[in-house]
């Protein structure tokens, strides 16, 4: 079941999708961080697929300060000309979502999710795509006692020279991580992958890190030309195994 909900934040109200399994009961929570194209039918499908595996999933509109989702007119992203138009419209919106603002919202999202009657007591998991991959790792570092599993798929800029680069947070993470990288991804080249892994190793973080050969940035997004069916299925296996292992340990 998928519903639209409003999440109170320090700066207003974020619209979000809440996906739950059928049949009632209480289930572990998962916070889903969107890609740059935002909350749309594809991400709703993905959130529901996670929910159908036994989780309650919150998919917030991270750029709610610019309006409710969809914040721009959605187009057929399989066409290059439409992608460019979308990026042109999204760039000023995404540039307004600073790391500081994103971090300020994360605890609000987690508080809302864990307060749901359908969410079981205990830690949650996170997953993120493209830009959401960095936020998934940031959430694990920000709330180490509340996030037990964090995944990033075709995440970009995870280990840069920036002072706030996600790899610099490794020593704050207690969650188990899974990192699914796209092959030949300009936003996450081999040298960044190596630096990220080195930082996680040095901090003693438990993680899996794999490069999906032949897959391009955005490979899980079935509504874009980047979609790769086999890589996406591999991603589902890795994600659900991680969540089951850390949030459903008796069933893993």
**Is 60 exceeded by the pLDDT of residue 249?**
yes
Q: What is the mean pLDDT of the segment spanning 110-119? A: 98
**Is 50 exceeded by the pLDDT of residue 252?**
no
Distance, in Å, from the CA atom of 160 to the CA atom of 157, rounded to the nearest integer, reads 6
3-state secondary structure of 135: helix
pLDDT tens digits, one per residue of 126-140? 999 999 999 999 999
- Tell me, yes or no, if 130 is annotated catalytic: yes
pLDDT tens digits, one per residue of 147-201? 999 999 999 999 999 999 999 999 999 999 999 999 989 999 999 999 999 999 9
- Tell me, yes or no, if 186 is annotated catalytic: no
- 69 assigned to some structural domain: yes
Sheet with 2-9: strands ordered across:
2-9, 12-19, 56-60, 29-33, 124-129, 147-153, 176-182, 207-212
- 102 assigned to some structural domain: yes
pLDDT tens digits, one per residue of 28-84? 999 999 999 999 999 999 999 999 999 999 999 999 999 999 988 777 777 777 777
**Is 90 exceeded by the pLDDT of residue 88?**
no
Q: Which of 154, 167, 181, 185 is catalytic?
A: 185
- 117 assigned to some structural domain: yes
- Tell me, yes or no, if 235 is annotated catalytic: no
Q: Which of 35, 130, 154, 223 is catalytic?
A: 130
Buried b (16+ CB within 10 A) or exposed e, 218-238: bbbbbbbebbbeebbebbeeb
Q: Which of 57 and 248 is assigned the larger pLDDT?
A: 57
Q: What is the mean pLDDT of the segment spanning 97-117? A: 97
Res 250: pLDDT: 57
| Domain that residue 163 falls in | 2-247
Distance, in Å, from the CA atom of 60 to the CA atom of 86, rounded to the nearest integer, reads 20
- Pairing type for strands 147-153 and 176-182 reads parallel
Buried b (16+ CB within 10 A) or exposed e, 9-34: beeeebbbbbbbbeeeeebbbbbbbb
Query: What is the phi/psi pair of residue 147, to 5°?
Result: -110, 115
Res 144: pLDDT: 98
- 210 assigned to some structural domain: yes
- 81 assigned to some structural domain: yes
CATH number at residue 82: 3.40.50.1820
- 252 assigned to some structural domain: no
Q: Which of 167, 181, 217, 235 is catalytic?
A: 217
Cβ atoms 12, 65 nearer than 8 A? yes
Please choose, from the candidates 213, 188, 187, 220, the residue with its C-alpha nearest in 3D space to the C-alpha of residue 34: 220
Res 83: pLDDT: 73
Q: How many domains does the chain have?
A: 1
Q: What is the mean pLDDT of the segment spanning 11-32? A: 96
């Amino acid at each position: 079941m998928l519903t639209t909900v409003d999440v109170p934040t320090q700066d207003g109200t974020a619209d979000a999708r809440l996906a739950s399994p059928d049949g009632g009961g209480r289930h572990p929570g998962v916070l889903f961080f969107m890609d740059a194209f935002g909350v749309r039918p594809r991400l709703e499908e993905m959130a529901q697929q996670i929910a159908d595996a036994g989780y309650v999933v919150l998919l917030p509109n991270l750029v709610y300060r610019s309006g409710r989702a969809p914040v721009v007119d959605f187009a057929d992203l399989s066409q290059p000309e439409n992608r460019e138009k979308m990026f042109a419209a999204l760039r000023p919106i995404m540039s307004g979502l600073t790391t500081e603002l994103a971090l300020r919202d994360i605890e609000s999202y987690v508080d809302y999710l864990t307060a749901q009657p359908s969410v079981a007591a205990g830690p949650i998991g996170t997953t993120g795509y493209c830009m959401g991959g960095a936020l998934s790792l940031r959430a694990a570092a920000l709330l180490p006692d509340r996030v037990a599993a964090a995944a990033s798929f075709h995440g970009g800029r995870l280990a840069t020279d920036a002072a706030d680069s996600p790899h610099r947070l490794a020593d704050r993470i207690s969650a188990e991580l899974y990192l699914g990288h796209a092959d030949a991804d300009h936003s996450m080249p081999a040298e960044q992958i190596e630096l990220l892994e080195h930082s996680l190793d040095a901090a003693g973080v438990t993680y899996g890190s794999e490069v999906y050969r032949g897959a391009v940035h955005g490979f899980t997004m079935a509504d874009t030309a980047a979609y790769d069916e086999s890589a996406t299925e591999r991603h589902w296996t890795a994600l659900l195994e991680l969540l089951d292992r850390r949030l459903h340990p008796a069933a893993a």
